[in-house]
Homo-oligomer: A and B are copies of this chain.
Amino acid sequence: MTTKAATTSIPIHDIIARRWSPRAFDAERSVSSGQITSLLEAARWAPSCFGDEPWRFVICNKSTNETAWQQALECLAPKNQEWAVNAPVLILACTDSLFRQNGKPNRWAQYDTGAAAISLCMQAVDLGLAAHQMGGFDPDAARSAFNIPEQFTPMAMIAVGHQADANILDEDFKAAELVERKRWPLPENCFDGEWNKSVT
């Protein structure tokens, strides 16, 4: 199985370093309901502004609700469908644009939902699963398929399953699966006390 731990200048925690977004999923291995609960518990304990928990997750598990899973799959961009078809679980992450307590706009809704979603992905690593978040899906199609009210915004579709060997992928995807992971150098995005003064 392809493992692509992050290359860092200094150690970081294992589940942060080992989390990445593979495309090779094993269509024959389902995710148990206990595993799904664990993923959702991890997301649940993310922090949020005023404790609002603006995230909502729609779980589409092929093993228990193939209709919902098929609907989720069909919302994906065609290139994503090619590989995500092997992921036994697709989870739609949505965010509530309004605070529960007063109905006013929550400017942290998306920020907090991103935190909950990556917590779910890290928990997947801990369970020996893989998770791959996609922005490449049609949010209007998702809204229609899952009857999502206006105040909620579909943010990401998360493919979850057991990783498979990169050889199951076609050549383009296989190359992407095996290439080294890259990030901007730290000084590009991290500043020392003032804007654009890079950390050293």
Interface, chain A (partner B; CB < 8 A)? 6, 8-13, 15-17, 19-21, 34, 36-38, 40-42, 44-47, 49-51, 53, 55-61, 64-65, 67-69, 95, 107-108, 110-115, 117-119, 121-123, 126, 133, 135, 146-149, 155-156, 181-184, 186, 188-195, 199
Q: List residues of chain B with CB within 8 A of the CB of A42.
A: 12-13, 16
Q: List residues of chain B with CB within 8 A of the CB of A195.
A: 58, 146-149
Q: List residues of chain B with CB within 8 A of the CB of A155.
A: 108, 111
Q: Secondary structure of the A side of the interface?
A: mixed
Q: List residues of chain B with CB within 8 A of the CB of A67.
A: 193
Which 5 pairs show the lowest CB-CB distances between chains A and B? A68-B193, A114-B114, A111-B114, A115-B118, A110-B110
In-complex Cβ contact of A41 among B19, B56, B69, B186 (8 A): B186
- CB within 8 Å for A56 and B190 given contacts A113-B111, A183-B44: yes
Please report the C-alpha to C-alpha distance between residue A68 and residue B193 in the assembled complex, in whole angstroms: 5
Q: In the complex the two chains form, is B12's CB within 8 Å of A58's CB?
A: no
Stoichiometry, copies per complex:
2
Please report the C-alpha to C-alpha distance between residue A126 and residue B110 in the assembled complex, in whole angstroms: 25
Q: In the complex the two chains form, is A56's CB within 8 Å of B111's CB?
A: no
**A9, A47, A184 pick with most chain B CB within 10 angstroms:** A47
In the complex, 27 of the A-B residue pairs with CB atoms within 8 angstroms, ordered by the A residue number, are: A6-B41, A8-B38, A12-B41, A12-B42, A16-B122, A40-B186, A44-B186, A45-B181, A47-B133, A51-B182, A53-B184, A53-B188, A55-B189, A60-B193, A64-B192, A65-B192, A68-B193, A108-B155, A111-B117, A111-B155, A111-B156, A112-B114, A115-B115, A118-B119, A122-B122, A146-B194, A147-B195
